[in-house]
Structures are given as C-alpha cells and as structure tokens.
Structure 1
Amino acid sequence: MTHPGHDTRVTYPDGALEADGLVLHTASAGDGLVAVITDTTSFHPVDAAWPDQPADSGSLFVGGTEYPIVDAVVAASDGSALHLGADVPVRKGTEGWAFLVAHLVRDGAGIAEGDPVTVRADAAARRALSIGHTACHAASLALNRALAGDWSKPARQDALGAPDFDGIAITSSRILPNASVDVYRLNKSLRRAGFDTAAVAAERLDELAASVTATIAEWAAAEAEVRIDRDGDGLTDRRYWVAELPGGTARIPCGGTHAGSLGELGSVRVEFEAGEDAGTPVLTMRTHATPPR
C-alpha cells in the first residue's frame, strides 16, 4: 500500500459519533472481510496492545450504500504492507510507521481508494461503553484509596497520591456496557513490594466492596466533571482521562471514550471475587453502573 504519511485522525475522544473523510486504502482482512482505512474516523477501535474497550458499533456510508462495521482494530503500515490488530509488529509511535484505524466490513468490493466516506458510530452503544470505562477508572481510584493503609513500603502513587495497587497488580481489564471487569494478580512480587495481601482475603471482600462503592457514590453525587485532554488529533497522540474529583484532580493516560461526569454513572455497585490463575491468587473487581434514564 502507499504509505498514508500520518496516523488516522480520530474525533471520538471529543465525543464525536460521525466523521466525513476519504478512503485511503482497502485490503482483505480474511474471512470475507475488507479492511477500510480512512483519513479521519469517529470510530473507536480495539487496540491489541491493551484490548480493554471493544470497538464501537456502527456503519460506513460510501456512495449512498451503508456498510455495517463488523469490527474496528488498530492497524499499522510502513508503506509495504498493512498489518491488522495483533499482527502489528511494532509498538505504537515507532518511527517510519503510520498507525491507522481499520474498519472491517463485509461485501466491501464497491469501496475504492479516494471515495468520500461517512463514518457513523451508534450513540447508545458508545454511551454504554463510555459509562463502563469511566466507572472503571473511578473504581480503580476508589480501590487504591481503600487499600492505602495496607502497604508497608513506599509504592508508586496513583493520580490522587495513593499507592497504586490497581496499576501495580492489574493483569487484565475489560470494559463492558455500563460495567467493567478488572483482574489483579496477588503474586510474590506484589508482597515483596510491601502490599499485605491479607487486606484482600475472601472474608474481607464485602467490607472492601462497601468502601469502594461508597467512595464512588460520593464522587457521583458531586457530579465530578470528566474530560479528555490530548496532545493532538492523531490515533497515537497521548490522551488523558481527567476528573475533577472532590479530593483533587485525577489525570490518567487513556485512549478510550468516557462520560462527561461521574454524575452520569448513576448508581454504581462494586463486587469482588477471590480466585486463582495457574496457582497464583487473583482478585477480580466487577463494577456495575446503572445510569439514570
């Protein structure tokens, strides 16, 4: 493919659902799918490096025809080939590479390079994932606060100055509609870092859930404002989730989509579950939001 020269311009961080642009390239994505690269998109893709938030739902509109988008993934090209999703061979931001949003559609033979295109994301699906992602960040900060007294050594701090249990112990995060699931490994390195894993013993999890839930409720009642700050409009430009919480401003690197305030989360409930992964204890945090209608 011809080197696109720059990363895809993305408008979804500002909340945009629709974007007009041009088709830069199309390529087979296997299984009967066609990858459509546009110069601009409002469509949030899955990032294989940290696939926490699913892709938006929606369609491409080209020449009066609607093409439902089956999936959207981060892709990359050095001008010689297009690499999709998990097949991208380099880290984002690698010099000489352009990082792109690939919209995967069926029956895309009628789409050609240079065609004007409109990208449209579904508003309800976007909102549900945005609520889930914002609730996930709030829960992580509230969890760190609840566990702040359970460290015997200085630890890396989170955006509010508490020891960053979430950032240190997390092994996976998944954003769901109005919900999230985060898994933490309670391994030897975490204990050596000074964390007392007895704080997350099974018999203490109900108490921990009540504490985390109460903190989020406080922030939601204050209708803490949320915004996305970003260094530029390219796909790989750094973006930050910023929340004006009652206890201070939290600023967290994040490439996802979000609600405009914690008040939009409505009622939030956090649950914990103890388990094991290949013999290593793990803690699972499930966050559920019930936004007001």
Structure 2
Amino acid sequence: MKATILKLDGTKGKSIDIPLVFSEEIRPDLIRRAFHAVTSRRYQPKGADPMAGFRTTAASWGTGGGMSRIPRTKAGPKRKGRSAKGRRYRSKGRWFPAAGRGAIIPGTVGGRQAHPPKSCKILIKKINTKELDKAMRSAIASTAVPELVKGRGHSIGDITLPLVVDDTFMSLEKTKVVKETLSAIGLSAELERTSKRSIRAGIGKLRGRKYRTKTGPLLVVPSSEEKQPILKAARNVPGVTAVSVNELDMDMLAPGSHAGRLTIWTESAIKDLQRRFE
C-alpha cells in the first residue's frame, strides 16, 4: 500500500510505502472498550459524607401514639407541648413547624440520600494489553478509510487517505502559516468547520467550559528529544491537535470512542510509526 506525499503548496510529490498497520482489521468494539479503559484512568473518586443526614436531633417517639415510628425532629430548647413549633420550613408556598418532622430515613422530606455515591467504587476499567495494542492499530487503520473519516463529520473533499505531508511541514513556526498550509493541501473547509464555536447546553457553561469546539485534524510528527516548532505553532488552530508518534493514544485517534479521525502524518512520522508497530 502506497501513499503520495503532499508538499506545502499542495502539489503531489513522491510516493512511499506505508506500514502494514494501516491494513489492520477495524474493530469498533475493541476501540470502544479501549477508549473507555484509557479515559477511566482520569476519573476521580467521589462520595458523600458518611454522616450526611444524621446530624439532627431526630428520635423516634416510640409506639402507642398511633403514629409511625420514624425519627422525628425535636422542637428546640424551652418549647414544650402542643405549642412547640421550634424552627419552621417552607414547602410548596406554605410554612410548617419543624417539630415532629421526619428525618434521618431516606423517605422523609430533607432526609438522607438512600444510595449516595461512595468513594470506594471502582472507577477504572481494565483491558488486556494485547487487546489495547490491537485497538490502537485498528484506530490507526481507521484514519485511512474515507467512509469512516467522513462519517465523523470531517470535510476532506477528494483528498486521498492516508494524508501524508512533507517533513518541511514540521519547521513551520507561525500559526498563520500553519492555517495557510492546511488550506493549500485542501483542508480549508475543515478549518472553517472547526472555527465555529457553540455554547454548551447545560450547567457545564458555568463550570469553566462554556464553549464547545468541534474536533479537527490530528497532526502527527516523529518522536524526538527536541520539540518540533509545529507543535507550538498548531496549538492555537481551533480543533487541531499536534502530537508525536509516542504520544498517540485512543483519546486522540478515536475521540468519544468513534474511530476515523482525520489524521495528517509527516513523512518521518510514517517511518517512526513503522518502527513502533513493526
């Protein structure tokens, strides 16, 4: 299987052989499992206070009074008998005396939660190493299938996949030049698609993530000790993620467990990929 290298001006260059990893069988089920296993490592345990709902003066009135034996709150200091109202609470526009109000048990108004979240819950999902490796190879192979890439919503036009660019692409130092180069190789419609932001629906807009940006191309460069200039230049392009071959994971190749992300490989990254999955 061969791929044609594109130059910075969009013209076609020489053809190279691509690794056999691009011929791997595509397994959406494995990709989904691997994605959830990788992303679950970022989960943080959470749980309710063990004493939540128990910090009250409520106690059962016992039997013989013709009332249920649920714990009921007390009126308060220096308040006795039928006139003991103590604190009051508001429900459906009306005020009710808090004395005698049910508490502690889950079935009462203001009682404790029946099944609160527990910090001892196991959040991390496991996956076998061989299955994770096969899922990675399958996710890489899906980047060369036009039907899957278009199915994710990417605008690629008539671009031939896998998309491989010349190594001079790694020397770009300006974000403006990166946008112009991506437009020259035929991704102007993709950049226009990812440049639009939408306001998140829900309470998340109040928690530091008000805007949503669509996922754009993934730019892969070879692994080296020195940082490539393109990694910093492409950082401000909306939707674009620039990483090295060693940094590839399921969250980048298949965001949301959906395979087929539009991926731009450099010529050296293809060779590095062959050494990693040989």
Q: Same fold judged by TM-score > 0.5?
A: no
Q: TM-score, normalised by structure 2?
A: 0.23
Which structure is richer in relative contact order (CA contacts within 8 A, separation 6 or more)? 2
Greater fraction helix: 2
Q: TM-score, normalised by structure 1?
A: 0.22
Greater fraction strand: 1
